Each structure stands twice: as C-alpha cells, then as structure tokens.
Amino acid sequence: MSYLTLEKVGKIFGSSSVVSDFDLAVERGEFVSVLGPSGCGKTTVLRMVAGFERPSFGSIRIGGEDVTVQPANRRRIGMVFQAYALFPNMNVRDNVAFGLKVAGMDRRAIAGRVEEMLSLISLGHLAERYPYQLSGGQQQRVALARALAPRPKLLLLDEPLSALDAKIRVSLREDIRRIQRELAITTLFVTHDQEEALSIADRVVVMHRGRADQIASPLEIYNRPATRFVAEFVGTLNLFDAEMAQPGVLRFAGLNVETPMALTCRADEKIVVGLRPETLSLERRTEDDLSVTGTMLSTSFLGAVIRAQIDVDGRVIRLDMLNRGAGRLPPIGETVELRFSKHDLLVLSN
C-alpha cells in the first residue's frame, strides 16, 4: 500500500466544487508535484492533506492511518508556504526550534537538531537573525528547515518558489530536491510553473478544474499527454484540426497519415493533432518524414534554441531548432518545407 493515498477526495466551498474525484497514491520517499493553472484546486488538495481543510468527500491516509478528520497539529506534517510565513517575532534559531519545543523535546536535543537543520540549509551563520533581516531565498530555506526539524512524515510545499527571483528559484529548487533525497522524505510540491514541476519531481499530477487529468512521470507527461489540456499546458504545442479519413488514417493539413495511435477514434470524429516545436525540422531526417509547406514569418533567438514562426495555411506554426552557430536560417518570406515524423504526432481528443 502506498504511503500517502487520497481516495475519491472532493471539496465543496459554498456551492462550487473545487476538487472532485481526486485519487492519488504517493510512495514512501517519492517526490510528486501537483501542477495546474491558478484556481485548479491544487492548493486545496495540499491543504486537505495538511489538515487545514476538511474534505467534503473521500478519505486521506498517511502511512496506513486514516487522517481525513485528524486536526492539522496531530498529523506531523511539514509545510512550506509561498509567502515564507516565518514567525516574525522569533529569530532563525527559534523558528526552526518551534516544532521541537511544542513537541516537548529537551533543550539539549533541540539545540543539536537545530544546528543540524541549519547546516543542512547552510545558514548556520544567520541563526540569530530575524526574518525581516533575511532575503526571500534565505527566509524560504529557513522555512524548509523549520518544516523538516520535527522529522515530519510528509513534506508539503505550497508554491514555495513563486515569490523569488528567477536565479534563486532555480538554485533553491535544486536544494529542495537534494535535501529531499538526503532525507528520503515523501514530498508533495504544488506549483503552477511547468518547468519547475517537470524538473524536480519523480511524478507529476496535472490538475484541471478540480480533477487530475494525468498522473505520470515528467517524461510521459511531456511526450504522451493524456488530454489536450495537459498537452497545451505543458510545453509549447502546434495544433492542427484533424479528422479520421478512414479507420487508421488521419487527415490533417492536406495529409493522409496512417497512424496506429488513432485507432481508437471513430471515423469522421473531429480530433486535434499536436506537434511539439522541437519535433519539426526544416531538413530531411529520414525517408519516412512527412512534410507540409509554409512561409517563414519571423524568427526569435532564445539562446540555445532558435524559434521560427511559420505560416501554414493561415495558421502560425512554431518550430524550434538547436542553435549550432553556423546554420543558415531561411529569410523571411521564403517558402519552406516543414518535416516531421508520424511517431511524434500527438493525437488528442477535443
């Protein structure tokens, strides 16, 4: 049995249903991110696990124990908030020690544990500082240490990086992952940033309108999105309207493509196919490549990647090519051939 399980969990606020039919099983030591746009219910899921909200339906178990109605202060959960939420009247040391003090640990043991936690986040030298004297990144690391100090069963992170600058966000993200691995603590990480979710987690839950659209590894979420929402929300996607010309044959952009993936669709059903920008190419790569014709609109330089905007039948298609330095870019207005493999097609129901 999984370490953390949510079964058919739902939450109703007033008359609106914020989370419904939410199932999730997290293994011990696993790092799961919950990804979704704002208002999708991801934070509510986290707060139900933490015990700040009581589910309207369903049950939550931690380590085999049903905690659905257990108050937050008995769950032994470490929580990190978006806005740090350090206690402003205590210095760093007292913040980290707080959970140990209320647990009734003896003074000596508390001091030892606090030192241990502070060295884990490499902020031992700031132990006497007050929160208002720390930068955002430092505050959030203290918040992490504070959450971990009482050895919680579960670590919950509610958009912990959203309030920080881009650079610090990345480095703290790596710190969080390193510490999580070191302590092997089961972690739930809520974010609206897909890059963050994909880069940090073992598995990702993509939430949409209170439901989990897909729960899978980052690679699978990106390469095999289960729904159109997941495909569009994660990464960039070019979409084509398509239909089944006949069973096993997909018709779009003037092409008839035989694809095993489309077998489940009925004939004449309106569907959408998607292509990631990096799967498109201006050069022929294999004999089986399919191609459509378009006109170069513009290019933008993104560093490692150059993104081209290409007009195909009045639709703007984005294409990414690696910046290899010497490559020749077609001038704007030139007619180009867009090539792709049929194995890269993402067939999505509407």
How far, in Å, are 20, 110, 183, 310 from residue 105 at the CA level? 40, 6, 20, 65
Distance CA 235, CA 278 (A): 11
Q: Interacting stretch for other proteins, rule CB under 8 A, among 96-104, 206-214, 241-249, 337-345?
A: 96-104
Under rule CB under 8 A, residue 71 binds other proteins: yes
Q: What residue type is 316 in one-letter code? A: V
Under rule CB under 8 A, residue 16 binds other proteins: no
| Closest distance to other proteins from the beta carbon of 341 (Å) | 49
Residue-by-residue DSSP string for 153-204: SEEEEESTTTTS-HHHHHHHHHHHHHHHHHHT--EEEEES-HHHHHHH-SEE
Q: Interacting stretch for other proteins, rule CB under 8 A, among 140-148, 164-172, 204-212, 266-274?
A: 140-148
Q: Encoding tokens for residue 173?
A: 């993200």
Instruction: Using the minimum distance from each CB to other proteins, give the nearer residue, 89 or 350.
Output: 89
| Closest distance to other proteins from the beta carbon of 297 (Å) | 39
Instruction: Using the minimum distance from each CB to other proteins, give the nearer residue, 84 or 233.
Output: 84
Under rule CB under 8 A, residue 201 binds other proteins: no
Among 61, 76, 224, 307, binds other proteins (CB under 8 A): 76
Under rule CB under 8 A, residue 73 binds other proteins: yes
Name the nearest CA neighbour of 114 among 137, 146, 160, 138: 146
One character per residue 154-193, x = contact with other proteins (rule: CB under 8 A): --x-------------------------------------
- Beta-strand (E) ranges in 51-193? 57-62, 65-66, 77-80, 154-158, 187-191
Q: How far is CA 276 from the centre of its chain?
A: 18
Residue pair 250/273 in contact by the 8 Å Cβ criterion: yes
Under rule CB under 8 A, residue 79 binds other proteins: yes
Interface positions with other proteins (CB under 8 A): 14, 50-52, 71-79, 81, 83, 85, 87-90, 98-99, 101-103, 131-132, 143, 146-147, 150, 156
